[in-house]
Structure 1
Amino acid sequence: MTVKELIEKLSLKIVAGEEGINKEVKGGFTGDLLSVVMGNAKEGQVWVTIQSHINIVAVAVLTNIACIIVTEGFEIDQDAIIKANEEDISILVSNKSSYDMIKELIEIGIG
């Protein structure tokens, strides 16, 4: 599945990184502590978090994840949007809780 297909299936809003929507999604990871994400996220995973600042883009680049889903309706910092566009990191947003988003990811086969 691609990030684009994920957006369509889960009705997510893309706020940055439209150039990265053709990346392949290979699994999922959730976490809000950046050091944990850096140490444990795998290439191609979807990262579910409530973090919305510029450092999420640096972590995404470092771990080579497929995209970031920011939950709970948190607004993305403008600096993060600019950097995500530069790095082709798709940032998607949802008003759903992280728990509900993870359930939906599992339901569509992302585990």
Structure 2
Amino acid sequence: MEIRVKDLLSEGFSLIAGEKGLEREIKGVYICDLLSWVMFHAKPNDAWITIQSHINVIAVALLSEISCVILPENLKLDEDARKKADEEGVPVLSFMGTSYEAAVKLYEMMK
């Protein structure tokens, strides 16, 4: 099933930044907090779940062609990162549950 970033907003995810990218398609999910690992292993159009919330996350998301960044457990996004995400149209979403719960939710939506 095809899902777009905007579809997550009705499923318990909240938009923090990057509204211009809400039409991006999500084809997979990647969970990792090591930025260099994400750059070499995440696939284009993955939703990336991470606890990292600084400006370098936005750079990695752009380089890796990530659909969106998801911050679990209601983590807050660094202000510089928020500005850059808005500027570049990289959607950053917040989720109240754990990384695992976010991944399960995305998996269920993609079935």
Partner of 1:2: 4
Aligned length: 109
Query: Where in structure 2 are there 5+ consecutive unaligned residues?
Result: none
Residue number in structure 1 paired with 2:90? 89
Question: Larger deviation: 99-108 or 51-60?
Answer: 99-108
Q: Distance in 1 between matches of 2:105 and 2:4?
A: 16
After superposition, the CA RMSD in angstroms is: 1.0
- Structure 1 equivalent of residue 75 of structure 2: 74
Q: Secondary structure at the match of 1:28?
A: strand
Q: Please show how residues 15-34 of structure 1 align to structure 2 within 5 Å.
A: 15-34=16-35
Q: CA deviation at 1:92?
A: 0.2
> In 1, Cα distance between the equivalents of 2:50 and 2:58?
12
Give percent identity, aligned residues only.
42
- Could you tell me which runs of 5 or more consecutive residues in structure 1 were left unpaired when the two chains were aligned: none
- Paired letter, 1:20: G
How far residue 25 of structure 1 moved from its aligned partner, in angstroms, is 0.9
- Amino acid paired to 2:60: V
CA distance in 2, matches of 1:18, 1:79: 16
**Residue 72 of structure 1 aligns to a residue in which SS?**
coil
CA separation in 1, counterparts of 2:63 and 2:80?
Answer: 18
Q: Distance in 1 between matches of 2:100 and 2:27?
A: 19
- Partners in 2 of 1:83 and 1:49 — Cα distance? 17
Q: Give the TM-score, by structure 2 length.
A: 0.94
Which amino acid letter does the alignment assign opposite residue 86 of structure 1? E
Corresponding residue of 1:46:
47
**Aligned to 2:9, what secondary structure does the other structure show?**
helix
